[in-house]
Amino acid sequence: MRWLCRLARDSRASSAAEFALVLPLLLILLLGIIDVGRLMWTWNRAEKATQMGVRYAVAADMIPNGLYSYSFVNGSTITQGDPIPESAFGGASCLINAGAVSCSCKTGATCPSPLVSSSANALTAFNNIVNRMRLFMPEIGSTNVTIDYDYSGLGYAGDPNGSDVSPLVKVSLKQLTFQPILFTLFRGSITLPSFSAALTMEDGQGTVAN
């Protein structure tokens, strides 16, 4: 019994025991600080990618190339030189669907038909924008990107120098995930919010950016 009493009073390893209890908390705190820094870095790259993507999009080929070549002059309500009303073009959205570009008119809006006259050219234009975004965030996939062409009030019917409309182009990044180091063992991840940036169309036929 005496040796049990001596063992109970022995404090020579107390520091090691206390350190063992505190170590997991210190590691969690350290990894948490690293993860916050990595999250902010990922967030910043996603924002920069959308900004550079839309900057490229407004100076490159318009993805809905049917819209680019469409004449809004109808000889009755819209004549040569008239501004394009929102009732004639309310906005379109383009994304990758099963390896091809799909452009659709927004709900409740009116659009020229067809929005895409050349699928191959539309896919090339879309991929060019995504590839520019990947320079800033390589993990971006084509399915993460949506490109909207919204009514801006700019443009004139029968414009001989390019597209009749100059839409507001918005590039959006969606469904991006971030995996913290703390979640590695559990294979967990965090879904980031959507990122977007918008500018008014400048070129539309790729003579500047391409």
User: Rounded to whole angstroms, what are the CA distances from 202 to 8, 24, 199?
Assistant: 81, 55, 9
Single pTM value for the model: 0.84
Residue 144 has pLDDT above 90, yes or no: yes
Q: Per residue in 14-66, pLDDT tens?
A: 676 666 777 778 887 888 889 889 999 999 999 999 999 999 999 999 999 99
Domain positions in the chain are 14-200
The alpha carbon dihedral of 97, 100, 106, 108 has a sign of negative
User: Phi first, then psi: what are they for 35, rounded to 5°?
Assistant: -65, -40
